Structure formats: C-alpha cells, structure tokens
C-alpha cells in the first residue's frame, strides 16, 4: 500500500511539473513573438523615417519613435503571469512559497544557497509533506505543507 500512495504522490508531482513546464513554454513563446514583432516595427519605423522628405521628417520621426514604445507595451501585454497552487484537503500553498520554504530549511541546516545547482520538490499529498532534493543528493530535507 505505501508504494501506491507514493506512486500517486509522484504522479501528482509529475502532473504539476508538466503543467508548470507547459505554462513556462507558453510564456516564453509569447514573449519571443512579441519581441520579434517589436523588432519588425522598429525596422519599419527606421525605413519610414528615411523615406520622408525633410519637411515631414520631424513628424514622421516622432511617429516612428512611438511605434517601438507601442510594440514594447504589446510585448508586455503578451506575457502571461502564471501561478501554481497545490491544494490538499485542508491546506494550500503556491509552488513559489514551497520553493522558498525549502531554501529556508536548507540554509537553516547550515548550508549555503551558493552551493545549490538544482532543487527538486516532491509533494506527498497523503502525508502532507514536501521532500526536497538539492543537487541530486537523495532526500536533502523535508517539511510539512
């Protein structure tokens, strides 16, 4: 029976990781697309500025200067803020909060965050515990959710 509970918890962790990774990729793709659009707008603005006559150059240049600013605003609007929240029967915590708690626990044990290259969290819903692994060192620590 304990292996079934552990497998279910590991499955839940994998699902959360998959959702977080998918959200991360979506945000990254949206940001890259927005940056590309901004670069195209900047190039068009430069071309337009070169083609205008001297009499209209100052007006066209002012319009061209606004296009990159609008493109940057569009890039910011395309980014998606994501948040992962783990909910148990009577508790909930965000992924960021659990990572912060793992770091606090790690440093409270006399370790330094400078030596952390990788941090993995394993949430055991049945036990209401979070187990963390630093630098692939099996079970570096744990704490209650």
Residue 6's pLDDT is 77
Q: What is the DSSP code string of 25-56?
A: HHHHHHHHHHHHHHHHHHHHHHHHHHHS-HHH
Three-state SS at 110: coil
- Residue-wise pLDDT for 56-73, tens only, equals 656 665 666 676 766 666
Residue 100's pLDDT is 92
Residue 17's pLDDT is 84
Which of residues 96 and 5 earns the better pLDDT score?
Answer: 96
Share the mean pLDDT of the chain. Answer: 78
Whether the pLDDT of residue 114 is over 80: the answer is yes
Residue 94: partners with Cβ closer than 8 Å, 6 or more residues away: 83, 84, 85, 86
Report d(CA 79, CA 32) in Å as an integer. Answer: 9
Which of residues 45 and 86 earns the better pLDDT score?
Answer: 86
Three-state SS at 139: strand
Whether the pLDDT of residue 104 is over 70: the answer is yes
Report d(CA 60, CA 53) in Å as an integer. Answer: 9
Q: What percent of the chain has pLDDT over 90?
A: 4
* Mean pLDDT value of segment 110-119: 88
Radius of gyration of the chain (CA): 24
């Amino acid at each position: 029976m304990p292996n079934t509970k552990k497998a279910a918890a590991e499955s839940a962790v994998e699902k959360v990781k998959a959702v977080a990774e998918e959200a991360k990729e979506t945000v990254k793709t949206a940001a890259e697309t927005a940056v590309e659009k901004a670069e195209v707008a900047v190039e068009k603005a430069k071309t337009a500025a070169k083609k205008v006559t001297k009499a209209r150059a100052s007006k066209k240049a002012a319009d061209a200067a606004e296009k990159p600013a609008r493109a940057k605003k569009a890039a910011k609007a395309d980014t998606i803020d994501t948040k992962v929240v783990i909910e148990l029967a009577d508790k909930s915590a965000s992924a960021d909060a659990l990572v912060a708690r793992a770091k606090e626990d790690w440093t409270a044990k006399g370790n330094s965050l400078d030596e952390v290259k990788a941090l993995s969290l394993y949430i055991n819903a049945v036990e209401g515990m979070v187990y963390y692994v630093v630098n692939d060192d099996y079970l570096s620590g744990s704490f209650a959710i």
